Structure 1
Amino acid sequence: MIVHAVTAQATIVLAQVEVKPDDSKAPGINALKDLVNGLAAYAVIAAVASVLLGGIAWALGERMGLDRTSAIGKSGVLAGFGLAFLVGATAAVVNFFLATGASASSGAVDQPRGLDRPAIVETINPGEPTQTLRHSPSDRFS
């Protein structure tokens, strides 16, 4: 007696869609780039102001014994550094995820992988002795 494996497969193809950002296809792209770069410049100036004002508040709060003012100054310094990091890292992070997404594929091919045949096929013939496979725990790691 031979054991057969049967797999059912249904494939629905709606449309093949490709997304490739292209600057030449977008009207007004240069104005939008200038706007984003201008916003980034404002953000950098705000980050510098936050670090400076936070540093002043931190120093005066520590000097005068005003714990709340000192804590607010520390928060301002950290917020300014965080903002500067976000402005500097934004383009690199977005480009990383854009490249990662562009390299991803749907995995759709003519025949889905893993469905062409079963992983294990066992043939049983009556009258023949069955063999038992035994594995020791050390076989797993070799």
Structure 2
Amino acid sequence: MIAEVASARAAVLLVAVSVKPDPTKAPGINALKDLVNGLAAYAAVAAVASILLGGIAWALGDRMGLDRASSVGKSGVLAGCGLAFLVGIAAVLVNFFLATGSSASAGTPQTDGTGSQRPPAVVQVVDSATVVHGEPSAYS
């Protein structure tokens, strides 16, 4: 009984709170957007530099027989590509999860009179008139 009251009260509290991002209500949001865009620009330049420097190290290391320089160059190229991918996909990921989270709902708890909050997922109804029970065998 106490658990039912607590869960109902928690459901009421969850329903009472809603979060809807509104940039017009945030002071300094334009400065923050400019800062984030500036950081993304720095990250893009760093990705290009990483790819160029890694490519140079990879080529020179491979040409001169320096295996360590060649592997570090490969790592630099891959790191630069990964950084460029993250800079490009960051806003898409945030917007996707924001839309997904805003469409989710807590729902309302449902009781079926027995104290359980949710009905069973699968209900199987068997018509006893059509069920034929044979004699039990030694193998069952």
Q: Same fold (TM over 0.5)?
A: yes
Q: Map 1:11-90 onto structure 2 (within 5 A).
A: 11-12=8-9, 13-14=12-13, 16-90=16-90
Distance 1:32 1:133 in 2: 70
1:116 aligns with 2:116: no
Residue 131 of structure 1, CA deviation: 4.9
User: Is 2:128 aligned against 1:133?
Assistant: no
Give the gaps of 5 or more residues in structure 2: 114-118, 133-140
Structure 1 position 14, deviation (Å): 2.9
TM-score for the superposition, normalised by structure 2: 0.74
Instruction: Give 2:93's aligned residue.
Output: 93
Displacement of 1:133 after TM fit?
3.4
**Residue aligning to 2:135:** none
Greater per-residue helix proportion: 2
Moved over 6 A (4+): none
Inter-partner Cα distance in structure 2 for 1:102 and 1:133: 48
Name the count of aligned residue pairs: 116
* Alpha-carbon RMSD: 2.4
Report the AA paired with residue 133 of structure 1. V
| Unpaired stretches in structure 1, ≥5 consecutive residues | 1-7, 123-129, 135-142
Distance in 1 of aligned mates of 2:55 and 2:73: 6
In structure 2, what is the Cα distance between the partners aligned to 1:72 and 1:103? 45
Once the two structures are aligned, what percentage of the paired residues are identical? 70
How far the C-alpha of 1:121 sits from its partner, in A, is 10
User: Higher relative contact order at CA 8 Å, sep ≥6: structure 1 or structure 2?
Assistant: 1
With structure 1 as the length reference, what TM-score do the two structures score? 0.73
